[in-house]
């Protein structure tokens, strides 16, 4: 990440990608729903969502 960037997530592993195309919590348990987070950089906020199959979309 660029210097000065910050995420609305905790430190450490956030997700784990596993076959066959699924996204899990770091402990291997299934996600309850999509993960949404914000990247703040240069006074701008960018919101992203990771789907249960690992697709990432900028909102």
List, as own/partner pairs, every contact residues 5-12 make where C-beta atoms lie below 8 angstroms and the sequence separation is at least 24, other chains included. Answer: 5/39, 5/40, 5/41, 6/39, 6/40, 6/41, 7/37, 7/38, 7/39, 7/40, 8/37, 8/38, 8/39, 8/40, 9/37
pTM of the entire predicted model: 0.81
Contact present, 41 and 4 (Cβ < 8 Å) = yes
Does residue 11 register a pLDDT over 80?
Answer: yes
Q: What is the pLDDT of residues 20-54, one digit of tens each?
A: 788 999 999 988 999 999 999 999 999 999 999 99
Instruction: Give the Cα separation of 40 and 2 in Å (integer).
Output: 11
């Amino acid at each position: 990440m660029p210097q000065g960037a910050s995420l609305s997530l905790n430190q450490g592993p956030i997700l784990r990608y596993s076959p066959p195309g699924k996204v899990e919590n770091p402990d291997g348990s299934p996600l309850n729903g999509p993960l949404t987070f914000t990247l703040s950089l240069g006074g701008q906020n960018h919101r992203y969502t990771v789907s249960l199959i690992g697709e990432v979309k900028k909102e």
